[in-house]
A and B are shown apart, each in its own frame.
Chain A
């Protein structure tokens, strides 16, 4: 590998890295969307009035790319209603009123895993999806021909400011991570497992190096703390030197990338049989009184989580699912924590006020900083002119929307919005072409 991809320094603001995560009490109620993952929404299998325990199946796997949903509190199913969620889709959501007991479902037992098929099945049953933010069902990633896997990369870059849930997971769930790695070796036949960790995480690096010392297949690659180090293709390039061609998957170059919190969740499931019913969430931001990591039952409202941490010191002006670079601004605090929420951040009014957008001054910083060498200024021109062929040539489809360009744009141009629209225009044009071809 000749050069590192272009990247930028961001303020780290890892205020919560040193503070042990706190387990939240049972909330009064949880709302579990059936679509907390990429793929088809799960199918609800409970009825209003049913009693459920922690770990009781409430919605089952629906098709190949999907993931089951389990009750995160014990109590009674109160309603099943459609709900809009963070990715923009609408799917049924199951609201459970908690009885405050947090009783576990009596059927919970560690899965019996003895070969590849039963391991994949276990991961499928666990309801685990990419916990780093993507929410892609993990079992689908793992279910590939063993011969194709050259490297399994554990993404522990955690390159977004504020977020420390991966950091805490590595420190607090190291045994579970090790258990999962052993399973990857044993059942999937993975020969090479590489941690990619940014160098601002001294303790996690040390902890993972301890694991690596015990396993020949496992190694730790310490990476510069530069954004967007944790981008999947960026991670693959910096760890292996391989370039994932546009439109291809990591597995096409022999790689599987899994977030470290996801790995910890797999280990926990193998050990206990408790499916994914809670997760570590970083609570931080300028409006938050006591930044900390909280172990939150899935489906808990943001309001309840913020309240548990001690509430706000200032009225929040903007609240995010995820980090400040790629996170989603939420319209309401009544929304639930879902599987891929690694952080919720609340910013005060000052930090939430939009900055003025001015004319592009052609400084070139967007293209010079793009990890993939795209040219956002040219893409914006082509989009404005409706030039789909040009957009295709400029490969806007490769944009991972990391926001590096927009972060540094002196004119504060809405670059990521434009790229999203340009991608949609490309998809539309493709659909029209296909429709024409099919008569």
Chain B
């Protein structure tokens, strides 16, 4: 029997934490927003979600097969990416565009860099920006995420929609970004499950609100309308908090949130695009390795004498 004993280094027990469990939690946390999207934008929202998730998973599966890598779709991270892309698209997007965006996110942004954990920017955010730029001139569905057929509050100038409608999502926009209530429910779930902490989303959303407040001469209602519009909540809660591309420490996450908030408002107020959340997150993704260095924890007992 002796030669049957397993030998391994300590620790010999492990918590129930796993990448798959994390991804499942994120999927669960996105369901309220997906359901809200289906209610607000109808059955076509479900089609877009199905297409994006299906394409994302299939892309990763096929990529792994082609390059002879160990299969990784069972960690469900491709499902999360597909779901996030779909929730960032308008319900009337042509199916082929949704497919191109999903393939781009998984193959170019994630798999080319080595798969989960190795990508330097968030696949879903990068796909959103890619599509925003690539499909603007297509004329098909008037793609720009924040300028769907019915104008979004941001492009129409915030405050044209009531604050309650902004909170519940009764207005134009991407499938999953309009219902702030559903996004907050998902965020609370993620924090309760300890998948994320409050630091980054609160710093991000808080900065956008306060900075906007200053720029709109302290008109709280207008600042609130800007805060509730566009992709801020879905970006701050679900996309900026992506482990791979956000800082590890709480201090770093707050710094990320602050800077992303400032960039968002700058683009919204002074830039060419009505929406700046995606660009802000993308830029901060790139800065993350440096933030990680600046905000690493103080080593206890590490002072060199």
Q: Which residues of A does B touch, CB under 8 Å?
A: 5, 10-11, 161, 233, 237, 243-246, 315-320, 324-334, 347, 351-355, 358-365, 367-368, 370-375, 377-378, 395, 398, 401, 403, 406-412, 414, 416-417, 420
Q: Does B247 contact A (CB under 8 A)?
A: yes
Q: A359-B116, A362-B248 are in contact. Are A403 and B243 (CB under 8 A)?
A: no
Q: A244-B301, A332-B5 are in contact. Are A367 and B248 (CB under 8 A)?
A: yes
For residue A343, give the distance in angstroms from its CB to the closest CB of chain B: 12
For residue A393, give the distance in angstroms from its CB to the closest CB of chain B: 9
Q: Is B9 in contact with A358, judged by CB distance below 8 angstroms?
A: no
**Segment among B10-18, B146-154, B202-210 that sits at the interface with chain A:** B10-18
Alpha-carbon distance A367/B75, docked complex (angstroms): 23
Q: Does B244 contact A (CB under 8 A)?
A: yes
Q: Is A361 in contact with B5, judged by CB distance below 8 angstroms?
A: no
Alpha-carbon distance A370/B297, docked complex (angstroms): 10
Alpha-carbon distance A5/B14, docked complex (angstroms): 21
Q: Most chain-B CB neighbours within 10 Å: which of A243, A347, A358, A362?
A: A362
Q: Could you tell me which residues of chain B, from 1 to 32, have a CB within 8 Å of some CB in chain A? A: 1-2, 4-15, 17-19, 21-22
User: Which applies to chain A's interface (DSSP): helix, strand, loop or mixed?
Assistant: loop
Q: Is A361 in contact with B248, judged by CB distance below 8 angstroms?
A: no
Which residues of chain B are near A361, meaning CB under 8 Å? 19, 22, 116-117, 243-244
0/1 string, B136-177, CB within 8 A of A gives 1: 000000000000000000000000000000000000000000
Alpha-carbon distance A375/B14, docked complex (angstroms): 19
Q: Does B217 contact A (CB under 8 A)?
A: no
For residue A421, give the distance in angstroms from its CB to the closest CB of chain B: 10
Question: A373 touches which one: B4, B19, B292, B299 (CB < 8 A)?
Answer: B299
Question: A317 touches which one: B2, B4, B249 (CB < 8 A)?
Answer: B4
Q: Is B248 in contact with A331, judged by CB distance below 8 angstroms?
A: no
Which residues of chain B are near A354, meaning CB under 8 Å? 6, 8
For residue B33, give the distance in angstroms from its CB to the closest CB of chain A: 22
Which residues of chain B are near A412, meaning CB under 8 Å? 14, 18
For residue A262, give the distance in angstroms from its CB to the closest CB of chain B: 22
Which residues of chain A are near B116, meaning CB under 8 Å? 358-359, 361
Question: A324 touches which one: B5, B11, B248, B304 (CB < 8 A)?
Answer: B11
Extra contacts, 16 of them, besides A237-B300, A361-B243, A416-B11 (Cβ < 8 A), are A10-B13, A246-B304, A315-B1, A324-B10, A324-B13, A327-B10, A327-B12, A329-B7, A361-B22, A363-B243, A368-B248, A372-B302, A406-B14, A408-B17, A410-B18, A420-B9
Which residues of chain B are near A414, meaning CB under 8 Å? 9
Q: A245-B303, A362-B244 are in contact. Are A332 and B2 (CB under 8 A)?
A: yes
Q: Does B115 contact A (CB under 8 A)?
A: yes
Q: Is B248 in contact with A375, judged by CB distance below 8 angstroms?
A: yes
Q: Most chain-B CB neighbours within 10 Å: which of A360, A361, A412?
A: A361
Q: Does B219 contact A (CB under 8 A)?
A: no
Q: Is B115 in contact with A359, judged by CB distance below 8 angstroms?
A: yes
27 contacts between A and B (CB under 8 A): A10-B13, A245-B303, A246-B301, A246-B302, A316-B5, A324-B12, A325-B10, A325-B13, A329-B6, A329-B12, A332-B5, A347-B12, A358-B19, A359-B114, A361-B22, A361-B116, A362-B248, A364-B248, A368-B250, A373-B300, A398-B301, A398-B302, A403-B10, A408-B15, A409-B17, A411-B117, A412-B14
Q: Is B300 in contact with A407, judged by CB distance below 8 angstroms?
A: no
Alpha-carbon distance A117/B38, docked complex (angstroms): 82
Q: Which residues of B does A touch, CB under 8 Å?
A: 1-2, 4-15, 17-19, 21-22, 72, 75, 114-118, 243-245, 247-250, 292, 296-305
Q: Is A330 in contact with B5, judged by CB distance below 8 angstroms?
A: yes
Which residues of chain B are near A233, meaning CB under 8 Å? 301
Q: Is A359 in contact with B117, judged by CB distance below 8 angstroms?
A: yes
Q: A246-B302, A377-B248 are in contact. Are A355 and B14 (CB under 8 A)?
A: yes
Q: What is the chain B residue whose CB lies nearest that of A356?
A: B18
Which residues of chain A are near B7, meaning CB under 8 Å? 318, 329, 331
Alpha-carbon distance A13/B303, docked complex (angstroms): 37
Alpha-carbon distance A416/B305, docked complex (angstroms): 27
9 closest Cβ contacts across the A-B interface?
A364-B248, A403-B11, A373-B297, A359-B117, A363-B243, A318-B6, A324-B13, A410-B17, A324-B12
For residue B251, give the distance in angstroms from its CB to the closest CB of chain A: 11
Which residues of chain B are near A408, meaning CB under 8 Å? 15, 17
Q: A359-B115, A368-B250 are in contact. Are A373 and B298 (CB under 8 A)?
A: yes
Which residues of chain B are near A401, meaning CB under 8 Å? 10
For residue B294, give the distance in angstroms from its CB to the closest CB of chain A: 13
Which residues of chain A are near B243, meaning CB under 8 Å? 361-364
